[in-house]
Structure 1
Amino acid sequence: MSQCAEFHIIGRVGQLKKVGTTLRVTIAASYPYKDERGDWQDRTR
Protein backbone atom coordinates (compact mmCIF):
# COMPACT_ATOMS: atom_id res chain seq x y z
CA MET A 1 0.00 0.00 0.00
CA SER A 2 1.32 3.43 -0.96
CA GLN A 3 1.19 6.26 1.55
CA CYS A 4 0.94 9.93 0.70
CA ALA A 5 1.10 13.12 2.78
CA GLU A 6 -0.08 16.51 1.58
CA PHE A 7 1.34 19.78 2.91
CA HIS A 8 0.49 23.40 2.19
CA ILE A 9 3.49 25.62 2.88
CA ILE A 10 3.47 29.31 2.07
CA GLY A 11 6.84 30.90 1.40
CA ARG A 12 9.53 31.47 -1.16
CA VAL A 13 11.13 28.46 -2.80
CA GLY A 14 14.82 28.42 -1.96
CA GLN A 15 16.08 25.39 -3.87
CA LEU A 16 14.77 22.37 -5.76
CA LYS A 17 16.89 19.21 -5.77
CA LYS A 18 16.05 15.81 -7.19
CA VAL A 19 17.03 13.00 -4.82
CA GLY A 20 16.34 9.60 -6.35
CA THR A 21 12.63 9.49 -7.18
CA THR A 22 11.73 12.36 -4.83
CA LEU A 23 12.08 16.12 -4.98
CA ARG A 24 13.66 18.02 -2.09
CA VAL A 25 12.31 21.57 -1.72
CA THR A 26 13.79 24.19 0.60
CA ILE A 27 11.64 27.12 1.69
CA ALA A 28 13.05 30.52 2.67
CA ALA A 29 11.52 32.14 5.74
CA SER A 30 11.87 35.69 7.08
CA TYR A 31 12.63 36.34 10.74
CA PRO A 32 12.03 39.86 12.08
CA TYR A 33 14.49 41.31 14.61
CA LYS A 34 15.42 44.69 16.08
CA ASP A 35 18.80 46.07 15.07
CA GLU A 36 21.16 48.04 17.35
CA ARG A 37 19.18 51.27 16.67
CA GLY A 38 15.87 49.62 17.64
CA ASP A 39 14.54 49.47 14.07
CA TRP A 40 12.82 46.32 12.81
CA GLN A 41 14.70 44.37 10.13
CA ASP A 42 14.02 41.07 8.35
CA ARG A 43 16.56 38.27 8.14
CA THR A 44 15.87 35.60 5.51
CA ARG A 45 17.12 32.06 6.10
Structure 2
Amino acid sequence: MNFVEMVLAAVEKNGEVCAQDIAFEMQVPKSIVAGVLNKLEAEGLLRKL
Protein backbone atom coordinates (compact mmCIF):
# COMPACT_ATOMS: atom_id res chain seq x y z
CA MET A 1 0.00 0.00 0.00
CA ASN A 2 1.48 3.34 -0.99
CA PHE A 3 1.19 6.59 0.93
CA VAL A 4 -1.75 7.94 -1.11
CA GLU A 5 -3.68 4.70 -0.56
CA MET A 6 -2.96 4.93 3.17
CA VAL A 7 -4.33 8.50 3.26
CA LEU A 8 -7.47 7.42 1.37
CA ALA A 9 -7.93 4.49 3.76
CA ALA A 10 -7.66 6.85 6.73
CA VAL A 11 -10.27 9.17 5.19
CA GLU A 12 -12.63 6.22 4.72
CA LYS A 13 -11.97 4.93 8.24
CA ASN A 14 -12.51 8.33 9.88
CA GLY A 15 -15.41 9.27 7.65
CA GLU A 16 -14.05 12.79 7.24
CA VAL A 17 -11.25 14.72 5.63
CA CYS A 18 -9.06 16.09 8.42
CA ALA A 19 -5.35 16.39 7.66
CA GLN A 20 -4.44 16.89 11.31
CA ASP A 21 -6.19 13.71 12.49
CA ILE A 22 -4.79 11.65 9.61
CA ALA A 23 -1.27 13.01 10.17
CA PHE A 24 -1.46 12.14 13.87
CA GLU A 25 -2.72 8.64 13.12
CA MET A 26 -0.02 8.02 10.49
CA GLN A 27 2.73 9.81 12.45
CA VAL A 28 3.73 12.07 9.54
CA PRO A 29 3.78 15.87 9.17
CA LYS A 30 0.38 17.47 8.60
CA SER A 31 1.74 19.44 5.62
CA ILE A 32 2.48 16.21 3.74
CA VAL A 33 -1.01 14.82 4.35
CA ALA A 34 -2.57 18.17 3.41
CA GLY A 35 -0.61 18.18 0.15
CA VAL A 36 -1.82 14.68 -0.71
CA LEU A 37 -5.43 15.60 0.13
CA ASN A 38 -5.20 18.76 -2.00
CA LYS A 39 -3.81 16.79 -4.95
CA LEU A 40 -6.52 14.13 -4.64
CA GLU A 41 -9.21 16.79 -4.49
CA ALA A 42 -7.77 18.59 -7.54
CA GLU A 43 -7.83 15.31 -9.47
CA GLY A 44 -11.44 14.72 -8.45
CA LEU A 45 -10.60 11.62 -6.42
CA LEU A 46 -11.74 13.09 -3.15
CA ARG A 47 -15.06 14.60 -2.23
CA LYS A 48 -15.37 17.03 0.61
CA LEU A 49 -17.64 15.41 3.13
User: TM-score surpassing 0.5?
Assistant: no
> Larger Rg: 1 or 2?
1
Q: Which has the higher contact order (CA 8 A, sep 6+)?
A: 2
Shorter-chain TM band: under 0.3
The structure in which a higher percent of residues are strand is 1
